[in-house]
Amino acid sequence: MSKSDSKKLRHFFHIAYQGKNYNGWQKQQDNFSLQQVLEESLSQVLKTPIAIVGCGRTDAKVNASQFFFHADLAKPADENLLFRLNRILPADIAVFDIIPMENLPHCRFDAIQRQYDYFIHTYKDPFLSDFSSLYLGLEIDFQQLKRATDLLIQYEDYRCFCTSPDKNEHTICRVSAAKWLVSENGNQLRFQISSNRFLGKMIRILVGQLLKVGKGLLSVDAFESYLINKETPKILSPAHPQGLYLSKVTYPYLDLAPKTDFLGLQKVSNDWKLIE
């Protein structure tokens, strides 16, 4: 560690956000991003330029009920910083915790597991439209949907379900869990997947392909052939972004429970039943 690095006081910021007003997490020229808003707000409060690093790169309109970024500060953060930062941030971004870290851990590269949830509703509801994806009159064969979903933990190379696979150092993703749940009234679906990493638009592409299987437009064997042959489908058809949530990020040294419940989406249907 260099002498300058030893003076840095790294902090992890535990946050959540609604993504509908942003062009994704990553700061981009001429685009309104979450990273930009947080860097500007933190710099304003501390009266010095602050650069931050996020634990991932969510797409435009994608939400996060748990997200971490790290920043190096000149002195330890206190409750006053948490209060002042939340006061100037827009209502769709919340900071829950500011955690001082020993040495210089990396909030993106150190994460060992990420969990995403994807929500679908099958009826028009103005209170769900920004936070769940509408698929009107969706009829699903749950048995075929589950058969295809169960294949995900058997494969590690997800090159076929990535928009730009060659931009990645590799396309290996170790999926540890994947399942579908249905609401008690049958009008909402929820896909949940966990892995050590994900590729660009991978989950939305997966959901789009799995829905094709459930609707009888794609066989389970054809779905598996993409994974076996590592061939990208001719038509990817990613699912809509607003239904997707980064819902849990786990580190070997930090494992916090999320402090929000998908903006009340779980309360809409009360009980979720695992599709078996």
Instruction: Kindly compute the dihedral angle of the four CA atoms of residues 94, 95, 96, 97, in this order, to the nearest 10 degrees.
Output: 170
Over residues 127-177, the pLDDT tens digits come to 888 889 999 988 999 999 999 999 999 999 999 999 888 888 899 999 999
Over residues 230-275, the pLDDT tens digits come to 988 888 889 999 999 999 999 999 999 999 876 455 454 458 899 9
Which amino acid would we find at residue 168? N
**Listed residue (214, 221, 266) closest to 239, CA to CA:** 214
Distance separating alpha carbons of residues 157 and 170, to the nearest angstrom: 9
Over residues 106-134, the pLDDT tens digits come to 999 999 999 999 999 999 999 888 889 99
Distance separating alpha carbons of residues 256 and 14, to the nearest angstrom: 9
Q: Mean pLDDT, to the nearest integer, of 30-43?
A: 94
Active site residues: 59
